Structure formats: C-alpha cells, structure tokens
Structure 1
Amino acid sequence: MKADPAVQRRLLDLAEVDAELSRVAHRRRTLPEIAEIAEAEKDLRARQDALVRVETTLGDLSRDVKRQETEIDQVRAREDRDRALLASGSVGAKQLTELEHELGTLQRRQGALEDDLLELMERREAIEADVQHARAGLDKAQQAMGDAQHRRDEALADLESVDTRRSADRALMQKQFPENLLALYERVRAHKGIGAALLRSRRCGACRIEQDRSVLSRLREAAADEVVQCDECGAIMVRTPESGL
C-alpha cells in the first residue's frame, strides 16, 4: 500500500487523539469514585439495617413500658377501691381482714411492677441513645454517598467534555486520509489497540520492540511512500529522521 509520507505522519496525530480517547474511556471505567460509591452503598445499607434494628427494639420496649404502666394503674385502681371500701366502715370483720390482706398483696405487686418499669425505662433510655447514634451515623453515610456521587458526576462531566471535543477532532482528521489507509489503521487499532506509531531509534513506538537487522534492511530499501507495518504488533510504522534507518 502506498501513501504520501506527509499523510502517514498525520497518522501519528490521529493515533494521539485515539490514545487520549482510550485514556478517557479507561478513566471513565475506573474512576475511584465508583469504588467509593460502592463502599458507601454497603455502609449505607448496613447503617439503615442497624437503625431499623434499634428502632424495632425501641418500639418493643415502648410497648412493654406502656403495658407495665397500664398494669400499675390497674393495681392502683384496685388499691384505691379497697381503701375506699375500708374507709366506708361498711365491711364486716372477716371482709376487713381479707381487704387488709389484699391491700398488702397489691402493695407488694405494685412495688414489683414499679421496679420492673424502672428497669424497662432505663433500657429504653439507653436504646433511645442508640437510635440517636444510629441516625447520626446514617446521616453521615448519606452525606458521604452524596459527596462521592457529586465528585463522580463532576469527573464524568469533565471526561464527557474531553471525549466530545476529541471525537469531533477525530471526525475532522479522518477526512485527511485515503480510505484504504484509514481502513488499515482502524483494523489494526481494533485488534491491537494502537493503529500507528513512530519508528524511533529502530524501535516500534507501539510495542517498543527493536527491529532486527533484516527488518531494518527491508525498511531502508522501502520507498518513502510505502506503508510498512511492525512484524510484531502490526501497527503502521511511520518513518521519520528519528527512525534511525
């Protein structure tokens, strides 16, 4: 294949644009914010689960406290009725003894219930502190997630800007090349990643391999407009005074 040496040299500009586009694509796939967001999502889910657990425990304790308070109120109401009956003076000796015994039992029951209630309220107070701590942790995790997402979006926007600009440059540059030369370049790039590179100091700029003597001899004999490719990687080798031929 033949192509004007100046046209071949312009392939290096195209290859530089393609290298930048490849770096943009790689950067887009490997943004550190992506991994950070994945970790933030895991932390967020864990903190959400933790909050649900302590809120469930708090709800259970609140119901227990309410039930205990209701039972204490019932005991107190029963005690008030018994004391009112005693105060009425309308009970006989036998019933009086029974009422006094029942009042003693109710007082002991009320004391036990109040002790249990105090323990429940102390536990609830501790769990309320856990709930506040869990909510603060969740807020912090949500903030971290939002920050990471914001930084990711900014980075992606920057990359998109570069991609758009350089893709437009590439579209204009493609028009400078003969169809057969561009087709060869694109085919090699699709398979090897680099379509063309400078032959510098006898090394292929794509694979960095130094050409052996037989290849160098062939390159010296090749016409200036001959399109040559690296035997190792297939990239079009652009020859200039830097090639060392």
Structure 2
Amino acid sequence: MKADPAVQRRLLDLAQVDAELARVTHRRRTLPEIAEIAEAEQQVRAKQDALVAIETTLGDLDRDVKRQETEIDQVRAREERDRKLMQSGSVGAKQLTDLEHELATLQRRQGVLEDDLLELMERREAVEADVSFARVELDKSRETHEDATRRRDAALADLEATETRRTADRSTMAKGFPDDLLKAYDRQREQRGIGAALIQSRRCGACRIELDRSAVSKLKEAAADEVVRCEECGAILVRTSESGL
C-alpha cells in the first residue's frame, strides 16, 4: 500500500484524536465518583436500616408506655372506687377490713407500676435521642450520595462535550485519507488499540519496542510513500526526521 508521506504524517493527528476518545471512554467507566456513589448507596441503605430498627424499638416502647399508663389508670380507678365505697358508710366491718387490705395492695401495685413507667420513659428518652442521631446520620449519607452524583454528572457532561467535539473533528479528518489507508488504520486500531504511531529513535511509538537491525534496514529501503508496519504490533509506522533511520 502506498500513500503520500504528508498524508501518512496526518495519521498521527488522527491517532491523537482517537487516543483522546479512548481516554474519554476509559474515564467514563472509571470515574472515581462511580465508586463513591456505590459506597454512598451502601451507607444510605445501612443508615436507613439502622433508623428503621431504632424507630421500631421506639414504637415498641411507646406501646409499652401506653399499656403501663392504662394499667396505672385502672389501678387508680379501682382505688378511687374502693375509697368512695369505704366513705359511703354502707359496708360492714369485715368488708371494710377487706377494702383496707385491697387499698394497701393497690397502692403498692401503683408504686411498682409507676417505677416501671419511669424506667420505660427514661429508656424511651434515650432511644428517642438515638432516633434523632440516626436521622442526622442518614441525612449526611444522603448528602454525600447527592454530592457524588452531582460531581459524576458534571464529569460525564464534560466527557460528553469532549467526545462530541472530538468525534466531529475525527469525522472531518477522516475525509482526508484514502479509503484503503483509513481502513487499514481503523482495523489495526480496533485490534490493538493504536492504528498508527511515530517511529522515533528507531523505536515504535505504539508498542515502544526498539526495532532490530533487520527491521531498520527494511524501513530504510522502503520508499517514502510506502506504508510500513511495525513487525511486533502491526501499527502503521510514520517516518519523519525524528525516526533515526
């Protein structure tokens, strides 16, 4: 295959554009924000689960407090009923003695229930503080996730703009190459990642391998318009005054 040396040199410009497009593709897949978002999502789920667990505990305590208060109200109502009955003067001596005994029992029972209620209220206060803390932690995790998402979206927008611009540049540049040369270049690029490279100081710019004497001899003998390739990686070698041939 033959191509004007000036046209071959323009392959380096095309390769530079393709390298930038490849970097855009790679960066899109490897943005650090992607890992940050994944980590933040895990944190949000963990904080949500923690909050649900604590809120469940708080709900259980609320029910326990309500039951305790109901039982205390029942004891107080029974005590009030017995006192009114004693004060009515309509009960005999034996029943009066029984009522006095029951009142003493009710007072002890009320004291126990009120102590238990106080303990429940103290536990509830502590759990309520835990709920408030868990909500703050969840909000922080969500903010971290939102921040990483914003930064990822901004980075993706920049990459999209670069890709659009450089794709348009490539389309314009590609029109300046013969079909056979462009096809050979694109095929090599698809297979090995780099379609063409400068040979500099007898070293291939694609695979970075220094050419042996035999390869250098062949390059020296090749006509200036001959399209030559690296024997190691297959990239089209562009020869300039820097090639050391």
- Please give the range of the TM-score, normalised by the shorter of the 2 chains: over 0.9
Where 1:207 maps in the other structure, the secondary structure is coil
Partner Cα distance (2:176, 2:64) in 1: 82
Partner of 1:240 in structure 2? 240
Partner of 1:92 in structure 2? 92
Partner Cα distance (2:146, 2:162) in 1: 24
Contiguous gaps of at least 5 residues in structure 1:
none
Deviations 1:118-163 (A, max 9, x none): 1100000000000000000000001000000000000000010000
Partner Cα distance (1:64, 1:210) in 2: 82
Partner of 1:48 in structure 2? 48
Deviations 1:91-137 (A, max 9, x none): 00010001000001100110010011011000000000000000000
Partner Cα distance (1:221, 1:166) in 2: 36
Where 1:243 maps in the other structure, the secondary structure is coil
Give, as a single letter, the amino acid of the residue that structure 1 aligns with 2:186.
E
TM-score (norm 1): 0.99
Q: Does 1:195 align with 2:195?
A: yes
Give, as a single letter, the amino acid of the residue that structure 1 aligns with 2:190.
A
Where 2:102 maps in the other structure, the secondary structure is helix
How many percent of aligned residue pairs carry the same amino acid? 76
TM-score (norm 2): 0.99
Q: Does 1:82 align with 2:82?
A: yes
Displacement of 1:175 in angstroms is 0.4
Partner Cα distance (1:89, 1:140) in 2: 68
Q: How many residues align?
A: 245
Where 2:8 maps in the other structure, the secondary structure is helix
Q: Does 1:181 align with 2:181?
A: yes
Q: Does 1:22 align with 2:37?
A: no
Displacement of 1:11 in angstroms is 0.3
Partner Cα distance (1:72, 1:215) in 2: 100
Partner of 1:124 in structure 2? 124
Give, as a single letter, the amino acid of the residue that structure 2 aligns with 1:107.
Q
Contiguous gaps of at least 5 residues in structure 2:
none
| Aligned CA-pair RMSD | 0.4
Partner Cα distance (1:215, 1:111) in 2: 102
